[in-house]
């Protein structure tokens, strides 16, 4: 197996590295990552989204005909490596660019592609994903939000929860029940809904990290036009699965590696009782264990990318990356909390500008988002290892 990148790929990496060196927001180039709050934070993230778009780096994986770079899977891997290495700010339209846009390209009408896809890429319209409900998460087919046809529009009533980015979003990719006469996963429809309307309201959910990254979203006679149905009425399950496949194919392993390198640097430079932390045998053992797991997770990801290059579509291997990365992230940040000790409580005034502390708290949610670790294990069991289906998982949208 050849682990080297060829010249063409290295040229892609150089181009991105040079662009990042010139275009990362002020301060971020030197590792000073000022995270603003409230409206300022939103504006900062919108500006960064626009900068990426103007530079042609917003949707590298999108086909060229839709304004992307048509980047190969290997180039997409290099893109993730470099963005993590540069500690670049996150994309505010991550749901639009990684999940909704590719789903519309695959399953939308020509009119939907023309209307929505360019504004997703440019970040002019931010998207959120309205799947989960208070009683429907892993088992999304239990959803109770309803959409009813009235004239040439659909009227929506119900509640979604854990809706990330809804506070910034203009549009929601919504799953609703349109018919309950058949089996549970039948009679489900996917709709594109403008959430800046009277019938939509929301409450932010306050997290342990002090952020309000997701929301409860209420639909109270909200409306959308019949043109905004994706796929066929009552056959939204197929569209739900298409979007979920894109959702499972993103990995965070490179930002986890960056966190590991930050922790390593901290242990090299911080002293306890006059000795660098890294000289402590217990710390060294933990770091060695994490180092081996980071390298193994990367190699496993590269193998999955190679397999996907052959099939051309996201497959169940993405679930392996998700399980490995989420557990590693949680273990890594737990070690970091041990090593940093009471200084963690200083938050952004503490070591590493509080990034490891933030990541520690966030790591518990990562295990749940995009389908929990249990659901990913079901996918691996059934679709990678060929084990028999478990009754419960047959009902789950995540599988
Ligand atoms: C950070 C974060 C961001 C999120 N963003 C969004 C978003 O933008 N949009 C959105 O729609 N949702 C979002 N979610 C919601 C997320 O998709 C759900 O929380 C997740 O699917 C689990 O659903 P649940 O919380 O209802 O838990 P449940 O489904 O009730 O699960 C409870 C427990 O039972 C286990 N379990 C359930 N079914 C099975 C099974 N078949 N086999 C084995 N174990 C099982 C689960 O693993 C879990 O441990 C987000 C969640 C988080 C944490």
pLDDT tens, position by position, 94-111:
999 999 999 999 999 999
Q: Which of 16-25, 39-48, 49-58, 341-350 has the lowest mean pLDDT?
A: 341-350
Which contacts of 88-91 are long-range, i.e. CB under 8 A and separated by 24 or more positions?
88/20, 88/24, 88/28, 89/25, 89/28, 89/33, 89/44, 89/45, 89/48, 90/45, 91/45, 91/48, 91/49, 91/52, 91/58, 91/123
Choose which residue among 368, 382, 396 to substitute to test ligand 1 binding: the one with the highest number of ligand atoms within 8 A of its C-beta.
Answer: 368
pLDDT score, position 313: 72
User: For residue 72, what is the domain's CATH number?
Assistant: 1.10.540.10
Do residues 314 and 387 share a domain? yes
Do residues 224 and 269 share a domain? no
Do residues 220 and 307 share a domain? no
pLDDT tops 80 at residue 329? yes
Residue located nearest, by CA, to atom 29 of ligand 1: 138
pLDDT, the chain, mean: 91
Q: Which of 226-230, 379-383, 395-399 has the lowest mean pLDDT?
A: 395-399
**Rounded Cα–Cα distance for residues 362 and 162 (Å):** 14
CA 371 – ligand 1 centroid, Å:
5
pLDDT tops 90 at residue 221? yes
Instruction: Give the ligand 1 atom nearest the CA of 374.
Output: 47
Where in the sequence numbering do the catalytic residues fall? Answer: 247
Q: Report yes or no on 47 lying in a domain.
A: yes
Residue located nearest, by CA, to atom 53 of ligand 1: 365
Q: Report yes or no on 100 lying in a domain.
A: no
CA 353 – ligand 1 centroid, Å:
30
Instruction: Give the ligand 1 atom nearest the CA of 368.
Output: 53
CA 379 – ligand 1 centroid, Å:
14
Q: Which of 23-32, 53-62, 184-193, 278-287 has the lowest mean pLDDT?
A: 23-32
CA 162 – ligand 1 centroid, Å:
9
Structure tokens at 8: 């063409």
Write out the residue range of the structural domain in which residue 154 sits: 127-234
CA 53 – ligand 1 centroid, Å:
32
Better pLDDT: 275 or 210: 275
Q: Report yes or no on 109 lying in a domain.
A: no
User: For residue 374, what is the domain's CATH number?
Assistant: 1.20.140.10
Q: Report yes or no on 241 lying in a domain.
A: no
Question: Mean pLDDT, to the nearest integer, of 18-40?
Answer: 82
pLDDT score, position 32: 67
Do residues 152 and 206 share a domain? yes
Residue located nearest, by CA, to atom 35 of ligand 1: 374
Asked if residue 221 lies in contact with residue 146, where contact means CB atoms within 8 angstroms, the answer is no
pLDDT score, position 399: 46
What are the helix (H) ranges across 204-280?
236-248, 253-269
pLDDT tops 90 at residue 248? no
Count Cβ atoms within 10 A of the Cβ of residue 234 and give its class: 0-12 exposed, 13-18 middle, 19 or more buried.
Answer: middle
Choose which residue among 139, 369, 373, 393 to substitute to test ligand 1 binding: the one with the highest number of ligand atoms within 8 A of its C-beta.
Answer: 369
Do residues 301 and 214 share a domain? no
* Residue 344's pLDDT band (cuts 50, 70, 90): confident
Which of 234, 268, 300 is at the close of a domain? 234
Question: Mean pLDDT, to the nearest integer, of 152-163?
Answer: 97
Q: Return the SS3 of 193.
A: strand
pLDDT score, position 31: 65
Question: Mean pLDDT, to the nearest integer, of 272-298?
Answer: 95
User: For residue 191, what is the domain's CATH number?
Assistant: 2.40.110.10
Do residues 41 and 18 share a domain? yes
Total of domains in the chain: 3
Dihedral in degrees, nearest 10, Cα atoms 190, 195, 200, 204: 100
- Residue 152 vs residues 223, 227, 395: alpha-carbon distances, Å: 10, 9, 32
Question: Mean pLDDT, to the nearest integer, of 197-212?
Answer: 93
Better pLDDT: 223 or 310: 223
Question: Mean pLDDT, to the nearest integer, of 207-233?
Answer: 95
Do residues 145 and 44 share a domain? no
* Residue 397's pLDDT band (cuts 50, 70, 90): very low
Instruction: Give the ligand 1 atom nearest the CA of 378.
Output: 42
Question: Mean pLDDT, to the nearest integer, of 360-375?
Answer: 92
Do residues 298 and 228 share a domain? no
Those residues with Cβ within 8 angstroms of residue 124's Cβ, 6 or more apart along the chain or in another chain:
none
Do residues 267 and 217 share a domain? no
pLDDT score, position 70: 92
pLDDT tens digit sequence for 383-393: 889 999 876 65
CA 131 – ligand 1 centroid, Å:
10
Do residues 334 and 276 share a domain? yes
Do residues 226 and 169 share a domain? yes
pLDDT tens digit sequence for 31-81: 666 667 788 889 999 999 999 999 999 999 999 999 999 999 899 999 999
Do residues 73 and 144 share a domain? no
Residue located nearest, by CA, to atom 40 of ligand 1: 393
* Residue 2's pLDDT band (cuts 50, 70, 90): low
pLDDT score, position 36: 76
Residue located nearest, by CA, to atom 50 of ligand 1: 369
Q: Report yes or no on 105 lying in a domain.
A: no
Question: Mean pLDDT, to the nearest integer, of 279-283?
Answer: 95
Beta-bridge partners for 200:
219
Instruction: Give the ligand 1 atom nearest the CA of 396.
Output: 41
CA 113 – ligand 1 centroid, Å:
30
Q: Report yes or no on 2 lying in a domain.
A: no
Which of 45, 72, 92 is at the close of a domain? 92
Better pLDDT: 353 or 393: 353
Question: Mean pLDDT, to the nearest integer, of 260-275?
Answer: 93
Q: Report yes or no on 116 lying in a domain.
A: no
Residue located nearest, by CA, to atom 27 of ligand 1: 137
Percent of the chain past pLDDT 90, that is, above it, reads 74
Question: Mean pLDDT, to the nearest integer, of 163-192?
Answer: 95
Residues with CB under 6 A from ligand 1: 128-132, 137-138, 162-164, 214, 365, 368-369, 371-372, 374-375, 378, 392-393, 396
pLDDT tops 90 at residue 5? no
pLDDT tops 50 at residue 222? yes
Q: Report yes or no on 114 lying in a domain.
A: no
């Amino acid at each position: 197996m050849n682990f080297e990148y060829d010249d063409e790929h290295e040229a892609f990496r150089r181009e991105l590295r040079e662009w990042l060196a010139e275009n990362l927001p002020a301060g971020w180039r030197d590792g000073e990552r000022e995270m603003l709050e409230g409206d300022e934070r939103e504006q900062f993230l919108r500006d960064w989204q626009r900068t990426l778009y103007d530079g042609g780096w917003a949707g590298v994986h999108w086909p060229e005909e839709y304004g992307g770079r048509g980047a190969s899977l290997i180039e997409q891997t290099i893109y993730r490596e470099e963005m993590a290495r540069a500690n670049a700010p996150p994309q505010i339209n991550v749901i639009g660019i990684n999940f909704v846009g590719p789903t519309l390209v695959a399953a939308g009408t020509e009119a939907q592609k023309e209307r929505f896809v360019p504004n997703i890429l440019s970040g002019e319209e931010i998207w959120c994903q309205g799947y989960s409900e208070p009683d429907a998460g892993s088992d999304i087919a239990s959803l109770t939000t309803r959409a009813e046809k009235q004239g040439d529009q659909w009227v929506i009533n119900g509640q979604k929860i854990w809706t990330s980015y809804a506070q910034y979003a203009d549009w929601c990719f919504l799953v609703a029940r349109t018919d309950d006469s058949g089996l549970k996963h039948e009679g489900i429809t996917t709709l594109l809904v403008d959430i800046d309307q009277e019938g939509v309201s929301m409450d932010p959910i306050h997290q342990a990290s002090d952020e309000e990254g997701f929301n409860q979203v209420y639909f109270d006679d909200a409306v959308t036009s019949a043109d905004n149905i994706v796929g066929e009425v009552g056959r939204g399950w197929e569209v739900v699965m298409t979007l979920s496949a894109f959702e499972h194919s993103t990995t965070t392993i490179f930002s986890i590696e960056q966190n590991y390198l930050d922790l390593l640097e901290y242990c090299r430079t911080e002293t306890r009782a006059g000795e660098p932390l890294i000289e402590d045998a217990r710390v060294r053992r933990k770091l060695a264990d994490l180092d081996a797991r980071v390298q193994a997770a990367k190699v496993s990801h590269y193998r999955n990318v190679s397999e996907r290059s052959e099939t051309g579509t996201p497959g169940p291997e993405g679930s392996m990356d998700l399980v490995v990365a989420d557990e590693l992230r949680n273990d890594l940040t737990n070690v970091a909390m041990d090593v940093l000790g009471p200084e963690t409580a200083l938050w952004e005034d503490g070591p590493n500008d509080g990034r490891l502390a933030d990541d520690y708290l966030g790591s518990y949610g990562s295990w749940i988002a995009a389908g929990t670790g249990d659901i990913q294990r079901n996918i691996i069991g059934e679709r990678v290892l060929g084990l028999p289906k478990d009754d419960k998982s047959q009902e789950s949208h995540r599988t």
